Amino acid sequence: MKDAQPKSIYLKDYRKPDFLIETTELHFNLDPSATVVKSRLKIRRNPEAHTPSLPLTLHGQDLELISLHIDGKTLQPSEYEIGPETLTINTVPNEFVFEAEVKINPEGNTSLEGLYKSRTMYCTQCEAEGFRKITYYLDRPDVMSEFTTTIEASESEFPVLLSNGNLIDSGKRENGQHFATWHDPFKKPAYLFALVGGTLDFIEDTFTTKSGRNITLRIFVETKDLDKCDHAMLSLKKAMRWDEEVYGLEYDLDIFMIVAVDDFNMGAMENKGLNIFNTSCVLAKPETTTDAGFQRVEGVVAHEYFHNWSGNRVTCRDWFQLSLKEGFTVFRDSEFSADMNSRTVKRVEDVSLLRTLQFAEDGGPMAHPVRPPSFIEISNFYTLTVYEKGCEVVRMIHTLLGAENFRKGSDLYFSRHDGEAATIENFVKAMEDASGRDLTQFTRWYSQAGTPRINATDAYDEESGTYSLTLTQSCPTTPEAKQEEKQPFHIPVAMGLLGDAGNLPLKLQGQPIDADTEDNTNLVLELTDFEQTFVFEGLNEKPTPVLLRDFSAPVKLNYNYSREQLTAIMSRDSDGFSRWDACQKLAVAVIEDVMNAYRGDQKYDIDHAFIETCRAILIDQSLDKAMVALMLQLPTEAYLSEIATEIDVEAIHFARQYVRKALAESLSEELESVYRANSNPEPFSASATAMAKRSLKNTVLSYLIVTETDESLHLAQAQLDAATNMTDELAALSAIINSEHAGESLRDQVLQDFYLRWSDEALVVNQWLTAQAQVSRVGGLERVQQLMQHEAFDIKNPNKIRAVIGAFCGGNPVNFHREDGAGYEFLADQILTLNKLNPQIASRLLTPLTKWRKYDSGRQALMRAALERIMSEPELSKDVYEVVSKSLKD
């Protein structure tokens, strides 16, 4: 390690800031290696601080100090002290003007945090603690200030100069320089500050708010990308309308800007009035973007826009409260997408992500509650738990309160805390006050880590017509707390009962029938104890319980379903999610049969009923095509690994492939006819119906190709040649490069042709890289090593790193986990390189290694050795240190 071992920061140590910053005036003179930043801050002591006589300590990192002034007087070196991450001034008055002049090096900033250069453009990323790399400041979210920013740069090189708020002045200076001054009237923490300087073009539109204000909307991109902005603009306008209609929230500034940058550590950033986006989350056009890409753009544009209220107008008091803005905003964007597209498909996608990756996080060494009690590096806590589980926690509040009370609660939250830095308690209190419900026990979802388990058992009494359902809950041990220390959660279990002819009316013993309820086949049980029994009356047949409809809680539920029961739910339940879920459970059971046979060296037998069930789904014309596609997609290897006690890499891969092939061969006739029925050439449309059709067609193609026949290969080739959109083109490319039957020369040829066609489109090239990194045929590591030598790869660009290294290590299990450990060595090498260049990305890439305890002893030893090698690096970043040390802890 660099200095001493990095220290943990604890939520329990939170103290109000000693000083407040009323106004912040910034002046930037942009230069690649020597940008000069002048700041003028009106600071005063916080009357609410605990210890009024403290010195002034500001954050600051990698800054070259030029001068410091207090109330116009130059400070001498003896009057202040500079540490690696702080500036301390011992004596300051109660109110004063602080001025600093510093020099920074945007070009040398490869961490992509603070002010940096992306290709030809200057841009910033300040969340969580990047502003301290721009100037000395109180870089904490509970210090909110009014910002005025002047940017000066060469007019010919950087004609566009942007910051937060409204443009209040601009003009020319000497020597071809020009300037722009922006003022943001809304107080904000420094993490929402943004600056952009570059040669950019933009598309413009307007939006009239419900109160009649006209807002200018602009999306800035490099000129070559101007033709890919329409979808983001449309998504933005839809999101603005939706937030008015569903939450009553209006946009507040006169202008809303989005800027697309190529080098970005994550998806996008909600800076006030000036969102900065990874190009991958804003640019879209049918020729270059898949349907999944289109949906991602819609979702991320909405997410960042929604932050204007849930994050900016009401921000977080400290970083432990991160889920206050992230969990809530993910809930908002996921409901928005559900309203814009198919609700069930969106739910299935969200739950798949949660159950595959968040549950894995909950079961690993980095497990933490939705509100973590401590961290070493906050960047490591932008996690699936904070975002996706945090969203599920908000969703559960929505379920418990009902839509109307939830809206009253959000209204109260926004009006009560507007302009403040709030806590999760504030959010829950607003929900309680508005609804009259007591959520005390519910808040354990914020403080207890781990995925709760529910075990369900039942009994039917024919004579009395009663059915009793007993639910017990527990939560496994996680790094901070043992199972015995965990208190029961408050879990909403949405459910129904299925009889021979469909859903049965639900009458709970001892509860009057609610005459107002139109739907008496749906009920939300509230499980609050370790064990509870619910008795239903008036049943003439033994029902099948349908539990966790719409995945009403982020838990693992165990009920001993027979395959017949699962088939019944799949074909007859009223809840689309439960139908899909039953299909997945059935598929898991069938794959596990093959895994057991593989391990026991027995004959593989595929449950014939499953094949017939899939046939029925495939030819059912009444089903939504997107749902058919989802139901036919077998659980991924990542999901099968998550639910396994010990991950058997080869058995999982073999069994899944075997079942795919068996299905493809048994259903080949139906698959071919569905393929043809859905592949008539039509003009491209991004409608839900058109996307559903493509999704079904390409799922079917992925089955046909595993039959390894000339016909299926020809279909894929024909699709690749004729494709007019990236969804079809990429699906065909993937089919061919994954096909053994295609042979090496055809595979190489299609890859080369594709690259030549798209080499100028970085985002398409990234998809081409990913498709290759994920090919599961032998030799994956060598192929990836070669890809890293390709001109299209760049270790400094996070999208390329994710496309190649991330896709290989996280999405190609048989190759990454090859028995000799070469995959682990490869990843360790990359992490050590990136630890210096970009610690945030390095730390993210570590995830697959952190799961080492779930593998066989041979792999465990090799994975551990790779982690230990990283740990022995003398100059580890906090980011990497935290994840590696927690992974190795006993």
Residues forming the site for ligand B3K (CB under 6 A): 127-128, 266, 268-270, 303-304, 307, 326, 379, 382
Judge contact between 65 and 100, C-beta under 8 A: yes
Q: What is the smallest separation between the CB atom of 527 and ligand B3K, expressed in angstroms? A: 31
Which CB, 182 or 381, lies closer to ligand B3K?
381
DSSP letters spanning 785-831: HHHTTSTT--TT-HHHHIIIIIHHHHH-HHHHT-TTSHHHHHHHHHH
CB of 188 to ligand B3K, least distance (A): 13
Q: Rounded to the nearest 5 degrees, what angle is found at the Cα of 111, between the Cα atoms of 108 and 114?
A: 85
Burial-class residue 360 by CB neighbours within 10 Å (0-12, 13-18, 19+): buried
**What's the N-to-C CA distance of the chain in angstroms?**
20
Nearer to ligand B3K, 390 or 492 (CB): 390
Q: Are 491 and 452 in contact (CB under 8 A)?
A: yes
Q: Tell how strand 315-316 and strand 421-422 pair up.
A: parallel
CB of 526 to Zn ion, least distance (A): 30
Which lies closer to ligand B3K via its Cβ, residue 127 or residue 184?
127
Binding to Zn ion (CB under 5 A): which residues in 514-553? none
d(CA 165, CA 184): 4
Find which of ligand B3K, Zn ion, none residue 266 binds, CB within 5 to 8 Å per kind.
Answer: ligand B3K
What 8-state DSSP symbol labels residue 486? P
Return the half-sphere exposure (C-beta side, CA atoms, 13 A cut-off) of residue 500. 4
128: partner contacted, choices Zn ion, ligand B3K, none (Cβ within 5-8 A by kind): ligand B3K
Q: Where is 733: in which H helix or E strand?
A: helix 726-737
User: Cα–Cα distance between 130 and 85 in angstroms, integer?
Assistant: 12
CA atoms of 810 and 361, how far apart (whole Å): 13
Residues 416-475 that bind Zn ion (CB under 5 A): none
Instruction: At 222, give phi and psi (nearest 5°).
Output: -70, 150
Site residues for Zn ion, window 298-327 (CB under 5 A)? 326
CB of residue 316 to ligand B3K, shortest distance in Å = 10
CA 1, CA 7: separation in Å to the nearest integer?
12
Using CB distances below 5 to 8 A depending on partner kind, what does residue 249 bind out of ligand B3K, Zn ion, none? none
Distance CA 329, CA 410 (A): 12
| Residue 379 interacting entry, from Zn ion, ligand B3K, none, C-beta within 5 to 8 Å by type | ligand B3K
Q: How far is the CB of 379 from ligand B3K (least distance, A)?
A: 5
Min dist CB 558 to Zn ion, Å, is 33
What three-state secondary structure class fits 162? Answer: strand
Q: Which CB, 329 or 772, lies closer to Zn ion?
A: 329
Closest separation in Å from C-beta 502 to Zn ion: 41
Only one residue has tokens 């210090």, namely 143
Spatial CA neighbour of 744 closest among 775, 706, 723:
775
Nearest-CB residue to ligand B3K? 127
Q: What is the enclosing helix (H) or strand (E) of 769?
A: helix 762-773
Cβ closest to ligand B3K, residue 152 vs residue 270 = 270
Q: Which does residue 768 touch among Zn ion, ligand B3K, none (CB within 5 to 8 A, set by kind)?
A: none
**Spatial distance between the Cα atoms of 273 and 283, rounded to a whole number of angstroms:** 19
Q: Which is nearer to Zn ion, 256 or 852 (CB)?
A: 256
Determine the Cα angle at 335 with ends 331 and 339, to 5°.
170
Q: Which is nearer to ligand B3K, 269 or 547 (CB)?
A: 269
Q: Give the C-alpha separation, 291 to 284, whole Å.
A: 9
Helix axis angle, 710-722 to 726-737, nearest 10°: 150
Determine the interface stretch with Zn ion among 328-336, 349-357, 668-676, 875-883 (rule: CB under 5 A).
328-336
Structural contact between residues 764 and 798, judged by C-beta atoms closer than 8 angstroms: no
> 3-state class of 531 per DSSP?
strand
* Residues labelled as active-site residues: 304
- How is residue 6 written in tokens? 């990095």
Phi, psi of 872, rounded to the nearest 5 degrees:
-80, -5
Nearest CB to ligand B3K, comparing residues 312 and 698: 312
Burial class (CB in 10 A: 0-12, 13-18, 19+), 666: middle
Smallest distance from the beta carbon of 130 to ligand B3K, in angstroms? 8
Contacts of 597 (CB under 8 A, 6+ apart): 603, 604, 605
Q: What angle, rounded to 10 degrees, do the helices at 625-632 and 576-599 form?
A: 20
CA dist list (Å): 686 to 295, 455, 724: 10, 42, 13
Contacts of 829 (CB under 8 A, 6+ apart): none
Give the shortest CB-257-to-ligand B3K separation in angstroms. Answer: 16
The CB-of-303 to Zn ion minimum distance in angstroms stands at 6
Query: Mutual orientation of helices 608-619 and 625-632 as an angle, nearest 10°?
Result: 160
CB-CB contact of 169 with 152 (8 Å): no
| Partner whose binding site includes residue 382, from Zn ion, ligand B3K, none (CB under 5 to 8 Å by kind) | ligand B3K
Which residue, 235 or 521, is less far from ligand B3K as judged by CB?
Answer: 235
Nearer to ligand B3K, 378 or 664 (CB): 378
Q: Which is nearer to Zn ion, 260 or 762 (CB)?
A: 260
Give the shortest CB-24-to-Zn ion separation in angstroms. 23
C-beta of 111 vs 812, nearer to ligand B3K: 111
CB hemisphere CA count around 241 (13 angstroms): 11
* In the complex, minimum distance from the CB of residue 365 to ligand B3K, in angstroms, rounded to a whole number: 20
Q: Which of ligand B3K, Zn ion, none binds 793 (CB below 5-8 Å, type-dependent)?
A: none
Which partner, Zn ion, ligand B3K, none, binds residue 269 by CB below 5 to 8 Å per kind?
ligand B3K
Give contact residues for Zn ion (rule: CB under 5 A).
Answer: 326, 329
